[in-house]
Structure 1
Amino acid sequence: MEKPSPSRRAFLGLSAASLAGLSGCLGSLSTETDETPGGNTSDTDPNDGNETDSDNETHEEPTEPPGLPEGGAVMFVYDDGPMEDYTQALPAHRTFDAPATVGIVSEWIGREDYQSSGCMDIEHLEELVDAGWEIASHTSEHTTLGTFELVEDAAPGAERIYPEEIRHGYHRGKTIELTSDEHTFTRAVADYGSDDTGGYIAVDEPIEEACLAGETIIRYPAEKIREAMGDSKHALEGMGFEVETLLAPYDNFDDYSRKFASEYYSGVANARHGKRVNDPEGFDPYRTRRDYFIEYTDRESVKRDLDEIAERGALGVLGAHTFKEEVTEDRIRETLSWVDEREITVMTLREAIARYADR
């Protein structure tokens, strides 16, 4: 596992935006070594604009942002901000001097009734940052950002709609949008549940237009998506955290939510759920793949993916909900040991975007 020097740590700690700007300024200059922070920026005399001719004078060209690790890299991205991120994940990561990224729901900070042990407070998050971790937005209220198709037709007069997932129903009173090629209209969520037909969302007023399965989608209107993304970022930054990246709740991110994400964030941890390995060539931070490394999987599949990352020099994104019973400190430490054995670099999402995007 790569252990950056103090100067390199400072360099890697730059924001994605700062590095992007630096890369633009230095794009035409050659890279020397990963460890070189840079030298003189010009071969000309600033006093007269003429090139120097002295045979005795030497000039060091500045470097571009650090190159890609030959042995690949992984990010650990944890969801929701439960106390177990602090009590279980942090000690495991400290063993290997490895950072991670945590997706924080801004309105859940310090929440005591979340799962069994509550959520971290500001002081816990500050300690994570001091350990090299990154704070990412997980929206303000754990709001689903993408769309779902209806799986059952809804006739005019219906008060229940049946989408692929009922995530939009979790926030009663919020406005949802039903849209197809034929029409777009809004309703407020009254309730959600399940009946003989399947999972449903109940709306506050009967629908006036037929909504056909496979042709109609449910989503939040644009202003609600912007609120979910923007309010969280602004709240976390108001607490003193640098927030540049997004973790989409419920792994629900698609072309609709992608339209808004770049207004607030430099990238998304889980734009395409279901695979851990990303190709470093042409890496798009708004189409990042992530999958879980303890829950919903097995050890052998994780090891195979780590082998692929190391062999190809690829980028892996590993996720977990640390409040889940099977996600223990020992299991996290075990996975980190596999990463260490393969000499894979561990970095945050922000660092990965700075090093992998636009190359």
Structure 2
Amino acid sequence: MSHESTRRRFIGIAGTGAIGLTAGCTDALTGRENGSNDDESDDDDGSDEDGVTEDGDESDDVPSLDGGAVAFVYDDGPIEDYEVAFPVHQEFDAPATAGIVSEWIGREDFNDNDWMDVDHLEELADAGWEICSHTTDHTALAAFELVEDVDPDDIRIYPEQRNHGFHHEYDIEVTDGEATVQRTVVDSGHDDVGGYLEFDEPVGESFLAGETVERYPEELMHEFLGASKEELEGLGFEVDTLLAPYDVVDGRTVDIAGEYYDGISNVNPDSMVNDRHEFDPFETNRAYFAENTTREAVREGLDRVAEEEAVGVLGAHTFKEEVTEERIREVLEWVEERDLEVVTFRDAIRAT
């Protein structure tokens, strides 16, 4: 799939697969403008002699990315963000971005883990961390193509990935661009055919594999994205960016998310390197630095960031056993050795 100008791409039915996972994009201009870099530059930057802009922001707060920079973006909001990652980042006076699932805040022994509460998040924010949205309930935002035909009497569909089966009682839209059916997910699993979603009633229409996708209806997408931002801001946090659950994003996701956020930190999960001079916050590359990688790959990526004076975006799930204080410290040492600035994802956007 081509990734150029996803922010301005309208995804029709052929283009609803997840970026990096599903092929078949149809490109056309949406006309939606970039919400993060719309200000026109001229000789008057709108600031007074003290560097304070008309809206009260201090221009000095935006870091320089000359020489390259790295943003750490942590997933989900587990207590390990506070207990494991935060102390190490404090050693290096290095901020990070925490992707928070708004409905998980303060929950204990949920999904085999404990989750940071508001007091933890406030301490992170006071230390310069960014609090970003990771949706209301950690729902996959992309559409997934069906890999088996559907008959009207079927109550099961078989998508290429079963991410939407992790949350029951949400409505799912099955569409081929001409016919659209909405049903409620009540179960999911694997059978002799493959991974399936099971509905509360038969689909009622015929659909062909390869020409049909299943996805959340638009009103639910707005709930997952808009309500999360609203809830986090209601707790007193500035929320400007999104971390997409499961690293799956498609053009429809980008289009809707752009109504609420200035960027998505993990649109392309295969590389950490982002060109600083052509940085598109809705095309962000992010790579894990402990899980699903090697130390050699991380060092090579940081070398590229330094050589190209780029923006590197790194991620981790701190509840995973590979993500230890020692591993985080090691990576921050590598960053320091390369004289790279550590910034939040929000500030990476603001500075480019």
Question: Which of 212, 215, 223 lines up with 2:211 in the alignment?
Answer: 215
1:285 and 2:281 equivalent? yes
- Are 1:159 and 2:155 matched, yes or no? yes
Show the counterpart of 2:31: none
Does residue 34 of structure 2 align to residue 28 of structure 1? no
- 1:113 maps onto 2:109 in alignment: yes
Report deviation, 1:245: 0.7
Pairing partner for 1:328 from 324, 328, 331: 324
SS in 1 for 2:286: strand
Q: In structure 2, what is the Cα distance between the partners aligned to 1:64 and 1:217?
A: 47
What residue is the counterpart of 1:171 in the other structure? Answer: 167
Q: 1:66 to 1:77 in 2, by over 3 A?
A: closer
Distance verdict in 2 for CA 1:242–1:40, change over 3 Å = closer
1:195 aligned residue (171, 191, 197): 191
User: Partner amino acid for 1:185?
Assistant: V
Q: How does 1:118-267 map to 2 (within 5 A)?
A: 118-267=114-263
- Structure with the greater alpha carbon radius of gyration: 1
Q: Is 1:98 the equivalent of 2:112? A: no
Task: Check 1:329–1:311 CA distance in 2 against 1; reply closer, same or farther (3 A cut).
Answer: same
Distance 1:81 1:176 in 2: 26
Q: 2:296 aligns with which of 288, 294, 300?
A: 300
Structure 1: 5+ residue stretches without partners: 1-15, 42-61
Distance 1:326 1:115, change over 3 A: farther
Residues 28-63 of structure 1: per-residue CA shift (max 9 Å, x gap): 2289xxxx964999xxxxxxxxxxxxxxxxxxxx98
**CA RMSD, 1 decimal:** 2.4
SS at match of 1:289: coil
- The corresponding residue for 1:77 is 73
Contact 1:76 1:318 in 2 (8 A): yes
Q: Which residue of 2 aligns with 1:11?
A: none
Amino acid at match of 2:250: D
Shift of 1:116: 4.7
Query: Structure 2 regions of 5+ residues with no counterpart?
Result: 1-33
TM-score w.r.t. length of structure 2: 0.84
- 3-state DSSP of counterpart to 1:273: coil
TM-score between both structures, scaled by the size of structure 1: 0.82
SS at match of 1:89: helix
Match of 1:4 in 2: none
Instruction: For 1:208, give the aligned amino acid.
Output: G
Offset of 1:20 from its aligned partner? 5.7
1:315 paired residue number = 311
Deviation string for 1:236-288 (max 9, x for gaps)?
A: 11111111111111111110111111111111111222221111222111111
Residues of 2 paired with 1:39 and 1:197: CA distance? 62
- What is the alpha-carbon distance in structure 1 between the residues aligned to residue 195 and residue 160 of structure 2? 8
Shift of 1:120: 0.5
Relative to structure 1, the CA distance from residue 116 to residue 30 in structure 2 (aligned partners, 3 Å threshold; closer, same or farther) is same
Rounded Cα–Cα distance in structure 1 between residues aligned with 2:97 and 2:52: 32
Q: How does 1:2-81 map to 2 (within 5 A)?
A: 24=40, 27-29=41-43, 38=51, 68-81=64-77
- Residue 341 of structure 1, aligned match among 320, 337, 343: 337
Which residue does the alignment assign to 1:8? none
Instruction: Find the aligned partners of 2:295 and 2:210 in 1 and give their Cα distance.
Output: 37
Instruction: Determine the C-alpha separation between the residues in 1 that align with 2:63 and 2:223.
Output: 36
Task: Determine the structure 1 residue equivalent to 2:26.
Answer: none
Distance in 2 between residues matched to 1:20 and 1:345, nearest whole Å: 21
Distance in 1 between residues matched to 2:119 and 2:88, nearest whole Å: 19
After superposition, the Cα gap between the structure-2 partners of 1:40 and 1:348, relative to the gap in structure 1 and judged at 3 Å, is closer
Moved more, 338-347 or 211-220: 211-220
1:299 maps to amino acid: R
The CA deviation at 1:69 is: 2.3
Identity %: 54
